[in-house]
């Protein structure tokens, strides 16, 4: 024998080779339960099938949504190809006429159509190049290892006869009279009028109480309320990675970026959650993975490392036109520029202010003629009479001569904030 036999399904506890594992996975793939589901029961079904806390699977799907965008596509595939607890076949197989499913054909067609944009999100270019392929590879690898290690546990029983009665022959079918169970009368046994023999038949012995099923490993892990070793080690590695990667990104050493730092930290947190799924623990890592993933997406949209100048605040109030610098720049910080103290009110001024993450505020004289180019890529640009708020904003270019009309001091401003606000106000 290849291994121990499962008492309920007859499945072997050992699988030889990749092909045998894949075939056995397909034959005994998880079923979506009616209880404990959040949407369609994909995570709950996989968790019950392999004895893993469904919360960990949901966290992994959320992380995969940010890491390459493959999470929705994986969930849709599970919805289409995992049958419900009381279904004969999966929704996609039912669409092909191979059995019954509680999922309607209309919904199944809608799910199939949703796969196209879902996979387009995963493989059409994301914040981390190649993230969709890497995420899908992680899912396939995890399923393969799970089935190799735990495929003999909690194998679902096949459901037949739920949607149609397959025992009665179709009308006009030739009956084989040579079989031992052939009924010459052709009568329905349920319609026979038999005498009540219950008084002559001894009462059956009471059935023994059913054995309590073995609790999945993840249910036992809930009893431990302390911080697990997996969580502590994972957080320590994530902090070390962030502490090393952030200075490298700010100094642009070796082309390193803050988005890449966030990706490395997120990968460490994901590895910790996967490890915790096998050995128990790591549930608290979700609260670290979510903001890290959001920060990675934001940093990829706004390359803060392209802004130089270091960190800190710049507060300048020059008294002459010559004291106004051509460039004011910070990677992270604040820039406050007061141009109302210029001694010569006729001197023209031109300056640029840039900040990667932070705010820019410029105060100009009440009668100055201001030409401005304001950009708040993620945030709010409020420049005199023009404004814009949102993500991925374009620059605002305009002129404002003030309440007295053209003819005042000429001021030319170019202001750029990656993540933050840009404001230009007049002196009151």
The residue ranking higher by pLDDT, 156 or 382, is 382
Confidence of residue 211 (pLDDT cuts 50, 70, 90): low
Residue 293: predicted pLDDT:
74
- What is the predicted pLDDT for the residue at 309? 80
pLDDT of amino acid 74 = 85
Q: Report percent pLDDT > 90 for the chain.
A: 14
Residue 405 structure tokens: 């009309």
Question: Both 117 and 144 in a single domain?
Answer: yes
Per-residue burial over 384-393, b = 16 or more CB atoms within 10 Å of its CB, e = otherwise: beeebeeeeb
Single residue among 134, 160, 186 that ends a domain in this structure: 160
Task: Round the average pLDDT of the chain to a whole number and report it.
Answer: 75
How much is the pLDDT for 209?
Answer: 58
Q: Is residue 169 part of a domain?
A: no
User: 287 and 340, same structural domain?
Assistant: no
Max mean pLDDT among 8-12, 97-101, 147-151, 187-191 falls in: 97-101
Between 69 and 94, the higher pLDDT residue: 94
- For residue 93, tell me if it sits in a domain: yes
Q: What is the mean pLDDT of residues 117-133?
A: 60
Do residue 353 and residue 292 come from a single domain?
A: no
In this structure, the answer to whether residues 294 and 315 fall within a common structural domain is: no
Residue 351 domain-assigned?
Answer: yes
User: Which pairing describes strands 410-419 and 369-383: parallel, antiparallel, or unpaired?
Assistant: parallel
The reply to whether 193 falls in a domain is no
Highest mean pLDDT out of 52-61, 64-73, 391-400? 391-400
Residues 61/81, Cβ–Cβ less than 8 Å: no
Domain shared by 297 and 315, yes or no: no
User: Among 301, 328, 344, which residue terminates a domain?
Assistant: 301
Q: Are residues 320 and 274 in the same domain?
A: no
321-332 burial, b if ≥16 CB within 10 A, otherwise e?
Answer: beebeeebbbbb
Same domain for 259 and 326?
no
47, 102: one domain: yes
Q: Is residue 103 part of a domain?
A: yes
213 within some domain: no
Q: Which of 319, 325, 317, 382 is nearest to 350 (CA)?
A: 325
- pLDDT > 70 in the chain, percent: 71
* pLDDT the model gives residue 203: 56
Q: 347 is in which domain, residue-wise?
A: 311-426
275 against 280, higher pLDDT: 275
Residues 149 and 265 in one domain: no
| pLDDT tens column, 312-353 | 899 999 999 899 999 999 888 899 999 998 888 888 899 999
Q: Residue 9 in 3-state DSSP? A: coil
Q: Is the model more confident about 333 or about 163?
A: 333
What is the predicted pLDDT for the residue at 338? 94
pLDDT tens, position by position, 92-116: 888 888 888 888 888 888 888 887 7
Question: Sign (positive/negative) of CA torsion 182, 186, 190, 192?
Answer: negative
Judge if 54 and 125 occupy the same domain. Answer: yes
Coil, strand or helix: which one is 317?
Answer: coil
Residue 364 has pLDDT above 90, yes or no: yes
What pLDDT score was predicted for residue 298? 66
Specify whether 43 is located in the same domain as 139.
Answer: yes
Residues 65-94, mean pLDDT to the nearest whole number? 83
**pLDDT confidence of residue 168:** 41
35 pLDDT tier (thresholds 50, 70, 90): confident
Q: What is the DSSP string of 344-374?
A: -TT--EEEEEEEEEEEEEEEE-TT-EEEEEE
Q: For residue 219, what pLDDT band results from cuts at 50, 70 and 90?
A: very low
Mean pLDDT within 289-295: 76
Whether 259 maps to a domain, the answer reads: yes
Smallest CA-to-CA distance from 283 within 219, 216, 215 is with 219
How far does the chain reach from its first CA to its final CA, in angstroms? 91
Number of structural domains (the chain) is 3
**Length of the chain in terms of residues written:** 428
Q: Does residue 29 sit in the same domain as residue 122?
A: yes
Quick one: which of 366, 314, 307 has its CA closest to 340?
366
Q: Which of 112-116, 273-277, 303-307, 309-313 has the lowest mean pLDDT?
A: 303-307
Looking at 136, 160, 184, the residue that finishes a domain is 160
Q: Classify residue 208: in a domain, yes or no.
A: no
> Considering only CA atoms, which of 84, 73, 90 is closest in space to residue 126?
73
């Amino acid at each position: 024998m290849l291994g121990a036999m499962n008492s309920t399904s007859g499945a072997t506890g050992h699988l030889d080779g990749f092909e045998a594992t894949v075939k056995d996975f397909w034959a005994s793939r998880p079923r979506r339960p009616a209880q404990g589901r959040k949407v369609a029961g994909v995570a709950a079904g996989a968790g019950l099938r392999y004895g893993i806390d469904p919360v960990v699977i949901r966290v992994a799907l959320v992380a995969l949504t940010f890491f390459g965008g493959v999470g929705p596509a994986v969930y849709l595939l599970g919805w289409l190809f995992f049958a419900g607890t009381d279904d004969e076949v999966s929704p996609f197989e039912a669409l092909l006429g191979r059995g019954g499913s509680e999922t309607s054909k209309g919904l199944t067609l809608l799910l199939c159509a949703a796969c196209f944009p879902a996979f387009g999100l995963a493989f059409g270019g994301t914040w981390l190049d190649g993230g969709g392929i890497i995420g899908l590879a992680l899912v396939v690898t995890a399923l393969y290892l799970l089935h190799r290690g735990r495929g003999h546990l909690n194998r679902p029983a096949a459901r037949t006869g739920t949607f149609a009665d397959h025992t009665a022959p179709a009308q006009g079918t030739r009956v084989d009279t040579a079989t031992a169970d052939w009924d010459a009368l052709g009568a329905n046994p349920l319609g026979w009028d038999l005498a009540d023999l219950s008084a002559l038949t001894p009462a059956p012995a009471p059935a023994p109480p059913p054995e309590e099923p073995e609790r999945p490993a993840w249910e036992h892990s809930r009893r431990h309320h302390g911080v697990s070793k997996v969580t502590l080690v994972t957080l320590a590695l994530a902090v070390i990675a962030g502490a090393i990667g952030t200075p490298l990104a700010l100094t642009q050493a070796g082309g390193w970026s803050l988005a890449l730092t966030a990706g490395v930290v997120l990968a460490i947190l994901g590895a910790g959650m996967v490890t915790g799924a096998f050995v128990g623990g790591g549930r608290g890592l979700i609260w670290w993975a979510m903001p890290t993933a959001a920060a990675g997406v934001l940093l990829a949209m706004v390359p803060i490392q392209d802004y130089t100048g270091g960190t800190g605040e710049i507060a300048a109030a020059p008294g002459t036109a010559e004291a106004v610098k051509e460039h004011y720049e910070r990677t992270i910080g604040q820039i406050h520029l007061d141009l109302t103290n210029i001694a010569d009110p006729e001197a023209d001024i031109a300056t640029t202010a840039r900040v990667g993450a932070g705010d820019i505020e410029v105060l100009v004289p009440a009668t100055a003629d201001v030409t401005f180019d304001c950009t708040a890529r993620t945030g709010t640009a409020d420049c005199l009479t023009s404004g814009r708020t949102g993500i991925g904003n374009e620059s605002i270019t305009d002129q404002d001569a003030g309440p007295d009309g053209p003819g005042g001091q000429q001021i030319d401003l170019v202001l750029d904030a990656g993540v933050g606000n840009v404001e230009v106000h007049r002196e009151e």
